[in-house]
Amino acid sequence: MPDLLTDLRDAVGGEHVLTDAADVAAYATDWRGAYGGTPLAVVRPASTAEVAAVARLAHAAGVAIVPQGGNTGMCGGAVPSGDGTQIVLSLGRMRSIRDVDAAGGTITVEAGVVLADVQAAATAVDRLFPLSLGSEGSCTIGGNIATNAGGTAVLRYGMMRNLVLGLEVVLPDGRVWDGLRSLRKDNTGYDLTQLFIGAEGTLGIVTCAVLVLHPATPARATAWVALPSVSAAAALLPVLREYAAERLTTWELVSRAALDLVVDQGLQDPLASDAEWFGLIELAGPSGAPVDDDLERALGAAVGAGLVLDAAVAGSPAQRAGLWAMRERVSEAQESLGPTIKHDVSVPITSLSSLVDRLAPALEHALPGVRPVIFGHVGDGNLHYNLSRPADLSGDDFVTHTAALSAIVHDCTVELGGSISAEHGLGSGKAAAAAAYKSDVEVDLMRAIKRAIDPDGLLNPGKVLPLQ
């Protein structure tokens, strides 16, 4: 493709079209090394006009584009195929915060802005951008929108789709849709903004977004609790809500196996408890909100009802950070056991304990010694039911069991009325499985939308929907 590469260099500048193996390596493989390929080139445009020019050129040449933000995704959505035919389009140079409107409660940011930078810009004007993920230091707003990211404050603020008012999107043929509106009400037909959210770069390339800012919540109260069971974790949610109402922002679960992993990494166990289940609770509110009292009363009621065995309440910002680390470091700590087979499932919260009770024996039967490392967003009914290899099995041998083990987890989840991807999306890794669980009608509708917007199938092919 010498002509295309020349044209791309003319469009974005020669130094921003990477083709050397060493230069493209970081863009070719995901952060875990679980998914990867070989790009034709990595192109790094700096503006919406440059993104549009790249899309036009690729469209004319019949070359596919894979949008990429921070490359922290879990399902291989941001990496190219292995045949050297696809362009990775990195939004990493589009890092401008175009506008902050504290009075109107909005912030307008380009797609490559890192989530933590948006949070900091909101804090600087005494507001809150509430999306909160363990990867917030490197994931981007474009990636958060494309995956409809969740995280640890969904209970109070919803998922990313609840935090987006307007979008600017480059379409597969290079046209630009300017939907950068900051309206709270707009019933003028199909909601295109929501269509692009969660589409994982298969319908358009997000270049800019208007996001919602919330009031700042400087008052925070945080506890780490030991629990008798998963059903107690589920039963605790209405108790916490009764005492904290909308001040409850976080209710997260950590299993014993997950706790042991972070303790092995040098973190200090906040409770010397031999319980099998633990949790992180956070309440937040405006300055002066009685979050400490609310938390104390909620924990008192929970202990009285036998739902909490023991609790440690953070007495300082450092202690709070220590409690949060027990939850946020699990994902990274599990990598120390070798390759992880990840599952990101959700079920109605009242079915969580059935899910856990059914899966343990079924997985042990399928692969004796397999180690579940379970954690996640229990308040949202969302568990990361991750698996590590049996001690006597190599990582390479372990991953050959992926299809069989994932089928057990996913079948059980679907039987309980759940979803096989709660917050991470489908990428290439789960596209076929999701299609198999959906009805023909649902898959037909999804394919019709894809064909209408990307008739040549040039935007992130094979992601979300399997290739036909």
d(CA 109, CA 115): 10
Binding partner of 250, given ligand FAD, ligand 2HG, none, CB within 5-8 angstroms per partner class: none
Name residue 395's amino acid: G
**193 contributes a contact to ligand FAD by CB under 6 A:** no
- Contact pick of 134, 218, 390, 466 for ligand 2HG (by CB under 6 A): 134
Give the CB-side neighbour count of residue 343, counting CA atoms within 13 A: 31
State the minimum distance, in angstroms, from the CB of residue 430 to ligand 2HG: 13
39 binds ligand FAD (CB under 6 A): no
382 binds ligand FAD (CB under 6 A): no
Task: Measure the CA–CA gap between 405 and 193, rounded to whole angstroms.
Answer: 36
Number of residues that bind ligand 2HG (CB under 6 A): 6
User: Please, what is the minimum distance in Å from the beta carbon of residue 78 to ligand FAD?
Assistant: 3
Which of ligand FAD, ligand 2HG, none does residue 76 bind (CB under 5 to 8 Å by kind)? none
- Smallest separation, CB 332 to ligand FAD (Å): 6
Among 11, 18, 29, 71, binds ligand FAD (CB under 6 A): 71
- 386 interacts with, out of ligand FAD, ligand 2HG, none, CB within 5 to 8 A per kind: ligand 2HG
Burial of 417 (0-12, 13-18, 19+ CB in 10 A): exposed
Partner in contact with 342, chosen from ligand FAD, ligand 2HG, none, beta carbon below 5 to 8 Å by kind: ligand 2HG
Provide the minimum distance between the beta carbon of 128 and ligand FAD in the complex, in angstroms, as a whole number.
17
When CB distances are held under 5 to 8 angstroms depending on the partner's kind, the choice from ligand FAD, ligand 2HG, none that residue 463 binds is ligand FAD
Report the nearest approach of ligand 2HG to the CB of residue 367 (Å): 19
Give me the residue whose beta carbon is nearest to ligand FAD. 143
**How deeply is 303 buried, as exposed, middle or buried, from its count of CB atoms within 10 A (0-12, 13-18, 19+)?**
middle
* β-pairing verdict for 87-90 and 41-43: parallel
Binding site for ligand 2HG (CB under 6 A): 134, 331, 342, 376, 384, 386
Binding site for ligand FAD (CB under 6 A): 31, 66-74, 77-78, 91, 111, 133-135, 139-140, 142-144, 146-147, 149-151, 200-201, 205-206, 331-332, 423-424, 427, 460, 463
